[in-house]
Amino acid sequence: MHAITAFLESAEKIQKDLKRIPTATKLASIGAVQQLWKDETYERRTTLLNLLPKTTGYSYQTIDFEVNDLPAYLDPHSLSEKLNNPASFPYGKGNDILDGFIPVREGDYMTAHPRGPLLVIGSGNTLVPVLLSFVYAFLTNNVCVIRSSEANYIGMREILRSFQDAAINAPPFVQKALKLAQQSTVIINVAHTSTEYKTLLEEGPFHLVHFWGGGEALSFVRQCIMKNPAQPRLLVNGPLTGVVIIDSESVSDTYERIASEIAFNMAIFEQKLCSSPTECYFIGSEKKCMHFAQTLANHAMHNDRLYPHTLETDLAIKTQLVRTLIKREGATVITPESGGAEWTIVVSKGSSVIDRVVTQKLKLSIYERTKFLEMIAVDTMEEAVDLIRTLPARKCHKGIEKVGTVGYAMDFENAQKCAHLLSGCGVYRIVPVTGIFGRGSFEPADGVCIPREYTYLAYFTSAEATEKFAFWTQVRGRWKLNKK
């Protein structure tokens, strides 16, 4: 804790040093790191492939997928587009506004200052959220303490060290940026039950705490930062799930591709991502739904070979018991030919059968389910939307804040209707099934533009602009006229 206190005492100086380095240079330095991770022989890449399967519990194939995907999150062009997204910063000039005051109107100027020091608290499902937080903290000139999950601590440690590797052969101006990226960031590995963690939350001089996750861990963080004299803001990317809506009439000729995409998203990271589909609403007859479910099962078998996972014995037993109860309710359960618990597809009509069978005595929570999808046949899109609206209140999805991602398989006209009907449901993303996993460069992170949240806007204006544009001078003028 003493080391972190000393680090945070230097935060103001480090943030000033970061501000002096142009955003373009910071992006170039991240690009140098990206090139390292693209190299399949890079030593730190090999380290992650060897160690993360042990710390995370994911298969080697899943970690290989994650490591191969890392360069995409370190892409300078994509990051630049994120900063220049008009939703992130005024007038889509993020790269410029982070470097200093820019004109926004005749005589009016704005700049974005770092909100930090920041405390970022990572989730355990993947290291990508914390990686994004680190990159955005660097680009927005923030000092950052990262409390990574125990599972992903090694991953973030190796990524931060790769900035040191990239500096070896980089030009001097890029070297300076890379060194500052390391100096401005500390990664800690403390248990959530430790005194150090509690003290950090209650006493750390943070201006923003960014929490990825939910449940009791989030409640604990909220309680602690309420006692913090610095009164940090709390930014939460909470627990979400994904669903799929299929319109059987408009996409019947593309069932294979749709099934392939859904099966992939069921399998990757063992359905633990906030976008992973856990329910699928099939607009059409139960017979057609069953036909699609069989197609999906074939792809689930294929993906299970690509991304294998063995459930712990107690979870496997619990899954088998839930399957038995579902069958007693008259629903169909499709499983591997062996009958194993590796993946499960349930087909029901009109409502969730899983929600009816889950009880306090037999509770297969959303966090325990792995490659487990319920397909619900419905007659209309409105029925599907109603199921999305009520999903967070169901017993089988306890702990989920809302549906974050809706993947659609339908023609664009129906997709527009779907998006309109979903207004007010709290959904963050309405995307084709092919876009469930990936994120567009203009897309917010579950409704939040992180670079904007990591900064505050400062405004500077001239006397001439004040006289010409300021609302209060116009009011003052009318008040003087009225006085006469």
DSSP 127: S
Give yes or no: residues 289 and 260 share one domain.
yes
First to last CA, the chain: 65
Residue 463, pLDDT score:
81
Residue 56 reports pLDDT greater than 80: yes
Give yes or no: residues 220 and 300 share one domain.
no
Residue 114 reports pLDDT greater than 90: yes
376 closest CA partner among 368, 365, 384: 384
C-alpha 56 chain-centroid distance: 18
> 142 near 123, Cβ under 8 Å?
no
> 333 near 294, Cβ under 8 Å?
no
Give yes or no: residues 156 and 206 share one domain.
yes
Q: What is residue 167's three-state secondary structure?
A: helix
For 232-246, 252-266, 308-322, 457-471, which range has the lowest pLDDT when averaged over its residues? 457-471
Three-state SS string across 196-225, please? HHHHHHHHCCCCEEEEECCHHHHHHHHHHH
Give yes or no: residues 192 and 280 share one domain.
no
Give me the domain span that covers residue 43: 2-238+446-460
Looking at the domain assignment, is residue 481 inside a domain?
no
Looking at the domain assignment, is residue 319 inside a domain?
yes
Other beta carbons within 10 Å of 253 = 7
Looking at the domain assignment, is residue 473 inside a domain?
no
Residue 90 reports pLDDT greater than 60: yes
Looking at the domain assignment, is residue 480 inside a domain?
no
Q: What does the pLDDT average to over 213-241?
A: 94
Write down the number of H helices and E strands in the chain: 22, 15
Looking at the domain assignment, is residue 475 inside a domain?
no
Residue 478 reports pLDDT greater than 70: no
Looking at the domain assignment, is residue 440 inside a domain?
no
DSSP 395: G
Give yes or no: residues 133 and 260 share one domain.
no
Give yes or no: residues 361 and 220 share one domain.
no
Kindly report, residue by residue over 390-407, the tens digit of the pLDDT.
999 998 898 899 999 999
Confidence of residue 139 (pLDDT cuts 50, 70, 90): very high
Q: Name the percent of the chain lying above pLDDT 90.
A: 77
Looking at the domain assignment, is residue 40 inside a domain?
yes
C-alpha 172 chain-centroid distance: 34
Q: What does the pLDDT average to over 143-161?
A: 93
- DSSP bridge partners of 114: 455
Strand 455-461 vs strand 402-409: parallel, antiparallel, or unpaired?
unpaired
Residue 99 reports pLDDT greater than 60: yes
CATH number at residue 371: 3.40.309.10
Confidence of residue 116 (pLDDT cuts 50, 70, 90): confident
Q: What span, in angstroms and rounded, lies between the C-alpha atoms of 370 and 44? A: 29
Q: What is residue 410's three-state secondary structure?
A: coil
96 closest CA partner among 29, 30, 25, 23: 23
Residue 134, pLDDT score:
97
Give yes or no: residues 120 and 156 share one domain.
yes
CATH number at residue 452: 3.40.605.10
Q: Please state the domain count of the chain.
A: 2
Q: What is residue 40's three-state secondary structure?
A: coil
Q: What span, in angstroms and rounded, lies between the C-alpha atoms of 410 and 425? A: 20
Confidence of residue 113 (pLDDT cuts 50, 70, 90): very high
Give yes or no: residues 72 and 109 share one domain.
yes
Give yes or no: residues 293 and 233 share one domain.
no
Q: How many residues are listed for the chain in this entry?
A: 484
Give yes or no: residues 269 and 211 share one domain.
no
Going from the C-alpha of 114 to that of each of 19, 81, 143, the distances in angstroms are: 9, 19, 8
Residue 124 reports pLDDT greater than 60: yes
For 206-210, 361-365, 420-424, which range has the lowest pLDDT when averaged over its residues? 361-365
| 118 compared with 471, residue with greater pLDDT | 118
Going from the C-alpha of 374 to that of each of 165, 344, 360, 391, 468, the distances in angstroms are: 46, 8, 20, 12, 61
Looking at the domain assignment, is residue 209 inside a domain?
yes
Give yes or no: residues 428 and 451 share one domain.
no
For 105-114, 274-283, 438-447, which range has the lowest pLDDT when averaged over its residues? 438-447
Give yes or no: residues 66 and 143 share one domain.
yes
